[in-house]
Structure 1
Amino acid sequence: QCSIPKNCQLLLRNGKQLEVNLKFANVEPPIENIDRLNIRMNDDHLLIVLDREQAILDIFFPIKVDYERVEVKLLSDEGTVFLLLFQVNQHFISQLERVLGKEAVKVTTGETGGNSYRRHIGKTPDVVVVPKDVGQVSAVLKTCNEDSIPVVPFSTTTGLDGFANTPEGGICIDLMSIDKIVEINTSDFNCTVEPGVTHETLNQHLHTTGLWFPGDPGADASICGMAAMSASGINAARYGTMVQNVLNLEVVLSNGDVLYTAGKDRRPRKSSAGYNLTKLFVGSKGTLGVITQAAVRLYARPAVCSVGICPFQTINKAIEAVVATLQCSVPTAKIEFLDAATVTACNRYSKLTLVESPTLFLEFHGNSEAEVAEQASLVEEIFASNDGREFTWCHAPEEQKKIWASLHSAYYAILSQKTNVKGLRLHFSLPTSSLAKEVAEARKDIDESGIFGAVVGHVGDGRFHCIFLVDESNQDEMKIIQALSDRIIKRILASGGSCTGEHGIGINKRKYLENECGEVAVNTMIAIKKALDPKGIMNPNELFPKI
């Protein structure tokens, strides 16, 4: 079982054969030559790349698959069909089938799972279950808790740090079938959604209301998953992260109890009634419970948008221009950064013609052309004083859409620069005073290491990513990557930043948790974990060693 887009269908035949039927909306069938397709696993995702440059499918698999030997059939009238084979193990299945029905219980096998490029490789789940409502989620957790069966929830699973890994086997709960938009309160500027609702789906539904949900982490993530991961995204500079935008959560605890973090059916902007349980569960990453509903803030959809692009001579000057913009309180909606290596990759991958130097991409929102023009004019002056080159403006919606689509595809653009490699990503958050220095130092470290890498960032709210292309079979290269990662992370922590600006600590950076938060804070977290999940079944070994 996997989380897939609407152009796919899954069939489990005879309990052994998983058939994935794919229909490509952006590729004219038939694809006559199978050699045009490049199939690979990366970051827990099955990627299908056409002609080695266009990603036409990116779907999450919660299990490790032998993608190199997957059987591919190209059908002229049906699209592309993948056949993956799994054996069936009946252990523990009967109880789940009684709770959910046979059609909602899928069985997987395999010795390894999780992210294919990471040093920490997990075990595949023994079973994937597909509940239809919160009652079934509660029943599954109660059953698993009684028998101390590990549980890992997932939906679209666009996270990066191994949260869908099941190091002890157990159950994966696929929440994508719980997919209702429960309510939209236009006068209160909020709505309540279930785990299967993604931010794109919600915004399509909101289109006629004049409202929108600005959270956009790049991939079309589940809103409840974004809450679980404390996600942010490219609009966070103006509209905040999930921490600021979640009002209430429905959470199923490990024993099956259903918790409402701000009280049932309540959606206050602020409350001083007891502990702030909502913020406790935002970013809890499935380690304390399963989020089955989220009430989130909505905003007025901007009447006018304009996009600006400005290249710079150096990384330092680009980031200093961002800091100056923030200090002037210009309400910029998006401020994104790509280094020269990434711009070059995007030019090739997305067929752009950008100047190949450190570049800032901005979006301005307003109620009128004059309001947006005033914001843009002020930023243009600030950038010019920081050696910014000529501004390029994109006013047409189609031009803007193309620019942001290319930035969303930046990871795949970078990945396309080399063959037989995997992408390893680090992500950081920093005080604005340290941002320019640390981004430039990270770029310098990459250059000196000899590893192909890139630096990109949501610099409008102090976050950036390092992306390395690595051959995981090359042990010398992996040692260089480990030393490079350690050096950058230690410097980020020394600058008052965080080793994870988004996506969570995960297995890869768990060793830095105490360095960042302190021993007392980590012990407090462990005490909370033991109180809410005494048997330790919820996403075990993610934040802490087994407790």
Structure 2
Amino acid sequence: MSALSDLADLLGPRLSTGASVRDQHGRNESHFPPALPDAVAFPESTEEVAAIVRACAADGTPVTVFGTGTSLEGQHLPVAGGISLDMSRMNRVLAVHGGDMDAVVQPGLTRTGLNDALRDSGLFFPVDPGADASLGGMAATRASGTTTVRYGTMRDNVMALEAVMADGSVIRTGSRARKSASGYDLTHLLVGSEGTLGIITELTLRLHPLPEAVAAATCRFPSVAEAVACVIEVMPAAIPMARIELVDEMMVRGFNLHAGAEMPEMPHLFLEFHGAPGAVADQAALFREIAEDHGVSGWQDATTTEARSALWRMRHNAHHATGALEPGKRTLATDVCVPISALAEAVADAQAGARDLGLTSAIVGHVGDGNFHCGVRLNPEDADEMERVAEFSRRLAETALRLGGTVTGEHGIGLGKRKYMRAEHGNALDWMRRLKAAYDPKGILNPGKLLPDAE
């Protein structure tokens, strides 16, 4: 690999071939086996990223970008070896334009790091996938989260990008203007491309005013069907929900085991309302009125900052709480997204599928936008269980597509869901391959991800 000697001259000690560093960049939160890079590079500027990519392009060395390693479909795993490009040193806020409500940041900055920098501005960045992910990684995977129902996904909140392309050239896409009718929308082509078309080195992000008042609550329902029916009725009722999260009874059991929550093992909704104080109270009252028709009980308000933080910390730790259900195993963390009207059927099918296959599965869902997650416990050494988990994943994907949805609303494709791309996209997959070939003719950018191997 001739690129290594060139990169050693460029980066010095910021190029590591040490076993522990390589191991750190080859592991993941989910069930995929480790995949170690040949070396890890720590760039500090766009110019260095461009130089690294040029060196790698010269001899066909793969380049896989590493943010914080929190992706759940293995997007950051260097399955073809090569260079792991760790962006953690490119972590600065470059500019905040308060009057225009936007910020320019480097990709290694995390979402909490940005919000800490915005603390006295009256603004915040709302996209919240739970993990303290890097903003570059969030853009590359088109991340969303608990606040999507009100504030949108990364697609809605990235206004412009700087990116290094597969030949080492640098481009800028988009602008700080709130809209444009100029040219192809390369910004949103790169958002969600999982590092396969270009490497994001700078982002211009849309900011939002901090709400004057925030209130949260939890409530429970006699069944998942009733909880989802409540959501279906709430969404067109002009209640501007900030968060509306479903947890099924198995997930509640996980919370009780992991966090000592002592919640009844019934389906719950976790709610949050943003706005003026009077408006927030009215929103909660109207929601509760609708929920009464669906058998709601156990309403608990969380109005203090401490209570809200504890509630959402528990929700964001769902991946770890799932681990408490069967200690010693790993978790397949998978998601699908369907039209809201089909959500109850999709969730019921997922629960029935897990029971039929003898699997332990917990469900959490961003039900305001039809997206839900299944955490399935598995033992990678148990071949029979792994076959049943694969069958569960296949059924879940087929259900989502049958109901007019997508095989992933949030986690992305990465390694785990490439096999469903033809079923979801049909002939459009061929055009995606043409794009990949045009943008990355040598196939060095995050090989083995997103697109399936040619049939």
**Of residues 48, 58, 62 in structure 2, which corresponds to 1:136?**
48
Say if 2:266 is the partner of 1:354.
no
- Aligned to 2:261, what secondary structure does the other structure show? coil
Secondary structure of 1:208's aligned partner: coil
1:398 aligns to 2:309 (yes or no): no
Contact in 2 for aligned 1:108/1:126 (Cα 8 Å): no
Separation in structure 2 between the aligned mates of residue 474 and residue 532 of structure 1, nearest angstrom: 40
CA contact (8 A) 1:345 1:414 kept: yes
Note if 1:94 corresponds to 2:5: yes
Q: SS at 1:207's partner residue? A: coil
In structure 2, C-alpha distance between the alignment counterparts of 1:122 and 1:170, rounded to whole Å: 14
SS in 1 for 2:120: helix
Q: Please state how far the C-alpha of 1:543 moved relative to its aligned partner.
A: 2.0
> What is the root-mean-square deviation in Å for CA atoms of aligned residues?
1.7
1: distance between equivalents of 2:329 and 2:263? 26
| Partners of 2:3 and 2:434 in 1: CA distance | 30
- The answer to whether structure 1 residue 323 and structure 2 residue 229 are counterparts is no
Q: Which residue of 2 aligns with 1:526?
A: 433
Structure 2 distance, partners of 1:450, 1:121, is: 23
Q: 1:108 touches 1:125 (CA, 8 Å); kept in 2? A: no
**Aligned 1:189-204 pairs, distance under 5 A:** 189-204=101-116
Tell me if 1:306 matches 2:215: yes
Q: How many residues align?
A: 451
Partners of 1:540 and 1:546 within 8 A in 2: no
The offset of 1:546, in angstroms, is 5.8
Distance 2:74 2:111 in 1: 22
**Structure 1 contact 339–456 (Cα < 8 Å) conserved:** yes
> Is the partner of 2:127 in helix, strand or coil?
coil
Q: 1:229 to 1:356 in 2, by over 3 A?
A: same
Distance 1:219 1:249 in 2: 23
Contact 1:108 1:124 in 2 (8 A): no
Q: After superposition, what is the alpha-carbon deviation per residue over 1:433-463, rounded to whole angstroms, capped at 9, x for unaligned?
A: 1111111211121122211111111111110
User: What's the offset of the Cα at 1:93?
Assistant: 2.7
| Counterpart in the other structure of 1:542 | 449
Aligned to 1:471: 379
- Which of 163, 166, 170 aligns to 1:258? It is 170
Alpha-carbon deviations, 1:162-218, whole Å to 9, x = none?
A: 112222210010001011101001000110110121110111110101000001100
- Once the 2 structures are TM-superposed, how far is the Cα of residue 117 of structure 1 from its aligned partner? 5.9
Going from structure 1 to structure 2, the CA distance change for 1:116 and 1:283 (only over 3 Å counts) comes to closer
Hey, what's the Cα distance between the residues in 1 that align with 2:278 and 2:316?
Answer: 29
**C-alpha distance in structure 1 between counterparts of 2:239 and 2:212, whole Å:** 18
- Return the alpha-carbon distance in structure 1 between the equivalents of residues 119 and 275 of structure 2: 17
Does residue 105 of the first structure (1) align with residue 20 of the second (2)? Answer: no
Deviations 1:42-91 (A, max 9, x none): xxxxxxxxxxxxxxxxxxxxxxxxxxxxxxxxxxxxxxxxxxxxxxxx96
In the alignment, the residues of structure 1 paired with residue 265 and residue 194 of structure 2 have an alpha-carbon distance, to the nearest angstrom, of 37
Matched residue, 1:372: 280
Aligned to 1:166: 78
TM-score, structure 2 as length reference: 0.96
Matches within 5 A, 1:11-410: 92-100=3-11, 102-108=12-18, 113-115=26-28, 118=31, 121=33, 123-262=35-174, 266-367=175-276, 369-410=277-318
**How much identity, in percent, do the aligned residues show?**
38
Q: Provide, for residues 261-302 of structure 1, a one-character-per-residue CA deviation record: whole Å limited to 9, x for no partner.
A: 11xxx3111111011111101101000111011111000001
Question: How many angstroms does 1:470 deviate by?
Answer: 0.8
1:397–1:324: structure 2 CA closer, same or farther, 3 Å change rule? same
Match of 2:411 in 1: 503
SS in structure 1 of the partner of residue 373 of structure 2: strand
Tell me the SS of whatever aligns to 1:191: strand
Once the two structures are TM-superposed, the CA of residue 544 in structure 1 deviates from its matched residue by 2.5
Q: Which has the larger radius of gyration?
A: 1
Matched to 1:93, the amino acid is L
Query: Is 1:460 paired with 2:368?
Result: yes
**For residue 536 of structure 1, what is the amino acid of its counterpart?**
G
- The residue aligned with 1:440 is 348
Q: Which amino acid aligns with 2:17?
A: V
CA apart distance, 1:419: 2.4
- Report matched runs for 1:413-424 at 5 Å: 413-424=321-332
Greater relative contact order structure (CA < 8 Å, 6+ sep): 2
The structure 1 segments of at least 4 consecutive aligned residues displaced by more than 4 Å after TM superposition are 108-117
Matched, 1:450 2:353: no
Amino acid at match of 1:498: T
**In structure 1, which of residues 394, 412, 422 is the aligned counterpart of residue 320 of structure 2?**
412
Distance in 2 (CA, whole Å) between partners of 1:527 and 1:424 is 31
Give the 3 Å change call, closer, same or farther, for CA 309–437 of structure 1 in structure 2: same
Q: By how many angstroms is 1:114 displaced?
A: 4.3
Distance 2:274 2:412 in 1: 30
SS of the residue corresponding to residue 297 of structure 2 reads coil
Find the aligned partners of 1:246 and 1:219 in 2 and give their Cα distance: 19
**What one-letter code is carried by the residue in structure 2 that aligns with 1:106?**
S
**Aligned equivalents of 2:43, 2:67: Cα separation in 1:** 12
Task: Letter of the 1:464 partner, please give it.
Answer: F
AA aligned opposite 1:233: G
Deviation of the 1:518 alpha carbon? 1.1
How far, CA to CA, are the matches of 2:13 and 2:72 in structure 1? Answer: 30
Q: SS of the counterpart of 1:423?
A: strand
SS in 1 for 2:311: helix
Q: Which moved more, 1:412-421 or 1:223-232?
A: 412-421
Contact 1:113-1:122 at 8 Å conserved across structures: yes
Given the two structures, how large is their TM-score scaled by the length of structure 1? 0.80
Moved more, 495-504 or 350-359: 350-359
| Bigger helix fraction | 2
Distance, in Å, in 1 between the alignment partners of 2:375 and 2:112 is: 26
Q: Which amino acid in 1 is paired with 2:56?
A: C
Residue pair 2:414, 2:450 contacting (<8 A) in 1 also: yes
